[in-house]
Amino acid sequence: MRDAYHEQLDSVGHTLVEMAGLVGQALSRATRALLEADLAVAEAVIAADDAVDALHRELDVRTLDLMARQQPVAGDLRTLVTSLRMSADLERMGDLARHIAKIARMRYPDYAIPEDLRATITRMGEIGVDLAARLAGIIEGKDVTDAQTLDAEDDAVDLLHRTIFEKLLRHDEPYPVETAIDVTLLSRYYERYADHAVSVAKRLIFLVTGEH
């Protein structure tokens, strides 16, 4: 019985790793759909978010069932409660990638991003994808050391987010209102994606150390 219980505990971590992989792939593809005005890729990202949502719901049910049946204490209880919160962050990361794909779909066949902002958005996407990939390894290996370094990448995204706003405000010729709204929303989605990634890393640190 205890072996089965610990296998179930381990499976929670495996699900979180799978979710991190899926949301990283979603952001990568959403960014490509955005920059290439690729409707098929945008539609695929939007549809694929259902899989992340399903994993989130399934993990919640499984975790709450373990808590009810096994009445875990100490480290096991911390693992289960923290995993619920990590799952919620990862699910939100998937939603943000879907929002990016929806803007790409809405503007198709046009490009949502003006030429002079493409490099900034490209970089925000690259950092976000890297954060998700690192999260998968951090969760799988319970790597506190690497988890503690994610703030630096989040800071880089925050700086790019501010750069977007500065360009919107200081451009010689004002952007069309539609473009300014799209870019503002997109920049915010990438910034929030990175924030949730850091939140997952911090929860992992708490899971391992018991300290905030």
Give the residue-averaged pLDDT of 49-70: 93
Residue 1 has pLDDT above 60, yes or no: no
Average confidence score pLDDT of the chain: 94
Residue type, 52: V
Angle, CA 76 vertex, CA 73 and CA 80 arms, to 5°: 110
Closest Cα partner for 140 from 198, 208, 50?
A: 208
What domains can you pick out in the chain, each with its CATH number?
Answer: 2-209 (1.20.58.220)
Residue 190 is predicted with a pLDDT of: 98
What pLDDT, in 10s, does the model give residues 118-158? 999 999 999 999 999 999 999 999 999 999 999 999 999 99
Q: What percent of the chain has pLDDT over 70?
A: 99
Q: What angle do CA 81, 96, 49 make, to 5 degrees?
A: 80
Q: What predicted TM-score, i.e. pTM, was given to this entire model?
A: 0.95
At 2 the pLDDT is 59
pLDDT band for 69, please (50, 70, 90 cuts). confident
Query: Each residue of 167-179: pLDDT tens digit?
Result: 888 867 788 999 9
